[in-house]
Amino acid sequence: MCGRYKITKPISKTIDIVKTNIKVEDTNNYNAHPSQKLPIIKSYTNGKALELYEWGLVPNWSKKLDKFSPLINARRETLMEKITFKNLIQTSRCIVPADGYYEWKREGKIKIPYYFTKENGEVLFFAGIHQNNKFCIITREATDKISHIHHREPMIINQSHINNYLNIKKNAMEVLNSIKPPNLKFHEVSKDVNNPQNNNPNLTKPIS
């Protein structure tokens, strides 16, 4: 799964991709977490836009329930099996830019946080879906290199595949299934990241 990530200077990082910026500021978020409004890329008839959506998708049918936990992730393998996800992957796709993301390794009753980035240092682009100004991130099975940390990882799209993924005339599953996961590097970080109120550059520093 993906439950926290880092995104800094989102406008600067997407300036060559989007045409319009809608109320997004070029700020730094070292501990992006569910329920926050975060920058995503959407496609419109006149070009792509960077805008703020809340992380945690609430399907329309859930309004009939007394309690419902917003969905922060959607598994690629079952996107076409669940009616909510099936409809959204066909009509409501988005891209979530990030510098890197956090994942936790369970050792007994303890969870140890790690920070993941691309080996080449490039921006990460997570595949996502959205509804009613909210979004969730698509995940896939983790590669052998990182599966000992966690069995899932975000569905990371190459920048060259963004147009195809956002184009609803294209088959999204064919696009996603054709993309190989990038080479990632990772290191253990402080448990300070566990608290969503902590938001500073030290969160991504390796523990020596």
Distance between the two ends of the chain, CA-based, in angstroms? 26
What does the block give as tokens for 32?
């992006």
Alpha carbon distances (Å) from 62 to 54, 59, 71, 207: 16, 6, 11, 41
Q: Is 157 left (phi over 0), alpha (psi -120 to 50) or beta?
A: beta
Q: How many domains does the chain have?
A: 1
Give residue 63's pLDDT.
Answer: 66
What pLDDT score does 83 carry?
Answer: 84
Domain containing 144 equals 4-204
The widest CA-to-CA distance across the chain, in whole angstroms, is 52
- pLDDT for 60: 73
Question: What is the mean pLDDT for each group of 10 consecutive residues in the chain (208 residues)?
Answer: 93 96 96 97 95 91 69 94 90 97 94 96 97 96 94 95 96 94 96 96 93
Tell me the helix, strand and coil percentages in the chain, rounded to 5.
20, 40, 40
From CA 15, how far away is CA 17, in angstroms rounded? Answer: 5
CATH number for the domain that contains residue 67: 3.90.1680.10
Burial grade of 67 (CB within 10 A; 0-12, 13-18, 19 or more): exposed
The number of residues in the chain equals 208
Q: Looking at residue 75, what is its pLDDT?
A: 95
